[in-house]
Amino acid sequence: MTTANPALPPVPGSQVDGEPVVTDKQRSRKDGQVGQGSVAGKIIGYIALIITILVIMVPLYFIVITSLKTYSDVYADPITWWPNPMEWNNYVRVLQLSGFDLYLRNSIIITSVLTVIEVTLGVLSAYGFAFVKFPGRNILFLLVIATLMVPNQITIISNYSLIANMGLRNTFAGVILPLAAVAFGTYLMRNHFMSLPKEILEAASMDGAGFWSTMFRVVLPMSWPTLSAFILITVVGEWNQYLWPFLITDTEATAPLPVGLTRLQDAEGLTNWGPVMAGTVLTTLPMIIVFLLLQKNMIKGLTAGAVKG
């Protein structure tokens, strides 16, 4: 091992106390390479982000502006990027002539009832799988999770036959019952419950908290971000249900908004896209409001447990 003379500058390639000597020039060159790589990575990241935003936002932009265009403006050549004049009558037509109020009422009823059922059963079943010990618990949980692997389309024929034989076609019960699945919520909430600090649960038990008291006063308050994500995912999923309600409903009395959009398109034909796009905007708007209200808690819930330490 060689030792550099402190009175002389270090010689590149030599070692001091077993470590290779790095000069300021070499260090600045290395820092410059790292800086260039970092800048290039940021540029690529920004380009990818811009492309992603364009892919998502451009179709949404055209939906909005098409909903405000006149019939002739929709088919203008070259394409117009801004409606001139704005045709607000498209929205008036949808609200007054398409039965939008009935479809909106039906969607609110179906989504609200399904959300209450799925969240309640999902939380209760997840709490049981996480904290109640009983024979075959793990096997039963695997069976619940296995239902997530089965496409919904496979069960449509059997569900339709069952609901029709029960006389529940064109009823809210007929729409709701086959959609009230809780496997996803059970999986999501059970995994979150298992990640909670056991010390807090043990402390609650030592303080005399019972089964229900522990769930409502300890576990659920600590689980609000994940629970918010579960609620939002459920609300959006049930609001957008189309295939099953389309098959099981024939009238405006129980059909939700996505089915109403199909019937609106049939009524307007395949050429008058202004009212159809206006109906699409009105159908999407409630979910955008819900997402804006719950987005922070949803992000926290979906990323919970991603970083430790």
**pLDDT band, very low/low/confident/very high, at 309 (cuts 50, 70, 90):** very low
Q: Which of 118, 99, 143 is nearest to 252 (CA)?
A: 99
**77 alpha carbon, distance to own chain's centre:** 37
pLDDT confidence of 106, banded at 50, 70, 90?
very high
Per domain, the residue ranges of the chain are 15-66, 89-303
Q: In this structure, what token pair is assigned to residue 24? A: 């300021």
Bond from prior residue into 286 cis (ω within 30 degrees of 0): no
**CA 214 to centroid of chain Cα atoms:** 29
Q: Is the dihedral of CA 152, 158, 160, 162 positive or negative?
A: negative
pLDDT digit string (tens) for 63-97? 999 989 888 888 887 888 888 888 888 898 888 87
DSSP the chain: -----TTSPPPTT-EETTEE---HHHHHHHHHHHHHHHHHHHHHHHHHHHHHHHHHHHHHHHHHHHTTS-HHHHT-SSPPSS-SS--THHHHHHHHHS-HHHHHHHHHHHHHHHHHHHHHHHHHHHHHHHH---TTHHHHHHHHHHGGGS-GGGGHHHHHHHHHHTT-TTSHHHHHGGG---HHHHHHHHHHHHHS-HHHHHHHHHTT--HHHHIIIIIHHHTHHHHHHHHHHHHHHHHT--HHHHHH--STTT--HHHHHHHHHHHHTTT-HHHHHHHHHHHHHHHHHHHHHHHHHHHHHHHTTSS--
Q: Residues 201-237: pLDDT tens digits?
A: 888 888 887 878 888 888 888 888 888 888 888 999 9
* CA dist., res. 131 & res. 253, Å (int): 43
The average pLDDT across 268-274 equals 79
pTM: predicted TM-score of the whole model, two decimal places: 0.77
Distance of CA 179 to the CA centre of its chain: 18
Q: Per-residue pLDDT tens for 142-185?
A: 888 888 888 888 889 999 999 999 999 999 999 999 998 888 88
Contacts of 229 (CB under 8 A, 6+ apart): 188, 294, 297, 298, 299, 300, 301, 302
Whole-angstrom distance, CA of residue 268 vs CA of residue 277: 11
> Which tokens is 240 given?
């957008």
- In the structure encoding, which two tokens stand for residue 276, read together? 């159809």
Site of tokens 């239902």: 147
Assigned superfamily of 89-303: MetI-like (1.10.3720.10)
CA distance linking residue 122 with residue 283, whole number of Å: 27
Least confident of 74-83, 111-120, 280-289: 74-83
Pick 29 or 192 by higher pLDDT. Answer: 192
Neighbours of 271 (CB within 10 A): 9
Q: How far apart are CA 5 and CA 11, in angstroms?
A: 10
Q: Which of 233, 230, 226, 278 is nearest to 257 (CA)?
A: 278
